Amino acid sequence: MESVTSSGKAKVTLPTDEEILITREFDAPRHLVYRAWTTPELVMRWWSGHRGAMKIADIDLRVGGMWRYVMEANGGFEVAFHGEYREIVPDERIVTTEVFEGMPEVGEPALNTVTFTEADGRTTLELLSTVSSKEMRDMIIATGMEAGMQEQMDVLEELAISLR
């Protein structure tokens, strides 16, 4: 076996018509990944990636509590999400709703389940986003904010190669 590199790529798949699954392995025990995921000062440091600067990371980590993240994207516009915690199992699992602010509401908000699994000191994080309707999913896809379709990727990779 090849040794595992420290920074893998996020893997995005579409398990069903209404689900988007993002998977990534981290070289850290899961209590630390969980801490980085749920501590406002730490979320401020990574959530925006290289796409902007975080302005707000509010986390009320209890069932029924709200979270809200706001970043200023590099283009100068604000991108904001918020939601409510539905289930919390420390170091293991968090279920929250997620609403992208600035889009009209269509049906129920998305439901995100984040699972932290540790093996040999490394943690696999799975973020499963379930949308409540095909309309919602289509809209998310159309906004270009959140989606990924491995099936299409496979088809399109072949295409891209054939187009060269």
In the complex, the smallest distance separating the C-beta of residue 39 from another protein, rounded to whole angstroms, is 9
Query: Considering only residues 58, 60, 101, 158, which one is a binding residue for another protein as defined by CB under 8 A?
Result: 158
Element (H, E) at 159: helix 150-163
Distance separating alpha carbons of residues 74 and 24, to the nearest angstrom: 25
Binding flag, residue 157, another protein (CB under 8 A) = yes
Binding to another protein in span 64-123, by CB under 8 A: 104, 106
Q: How many CB atoms lie within 10 A of CB 71?
A: 21
At its nearest, how many Å lie between another protein and the CB of residue 64?
A: 26
**CB burial string 79-106: b at 16+ within 10 A, e below:** bebbbbbeeeeebeebbbbbbbeeeeee
Among 27, 87, 101, 105, binds another protein (CB under 8 A): 27
User: Among 10, 37, 41, 32, which residue's Cα sits nearest to residue 123?
Assistant: 32
The Cα 89–Cα 126 span in angstroms is 15
Nearer to another protein, 58 or 152 (CB): 152
Q: Is 146 one of the binding residues for another protein (CB under 8 A)?
A: yes
Using rule CB under 8 A, residue 135 touches another protein: yes
130: contact with another protein by CB under 8 A? no
Contact pattern from residue 36 through residue 55 relative to another protein, giving x for each residue in contact according to CB under 8 A and a dash for the rest: x-----x--xxxxxxx----
How far is the CA of 10 from the CAs of 41, 135, 138, in angstroms? 23, 25, 22
CB of 99 closer than 8 Å to CB of 84: no
Q: Is position 3 an interface residue for another protein (rule: CB under 8 A)? A: no
- Residues of this chain that interact with another protein (CB under 8 A) are 6-7, 9-12, 17, 22, 24, 26-28, 32-33, 35-36, 42, 45-51, 104, 106, 134-135, 137-139, 141-142, 144, 146-149, 151-160, 162-163
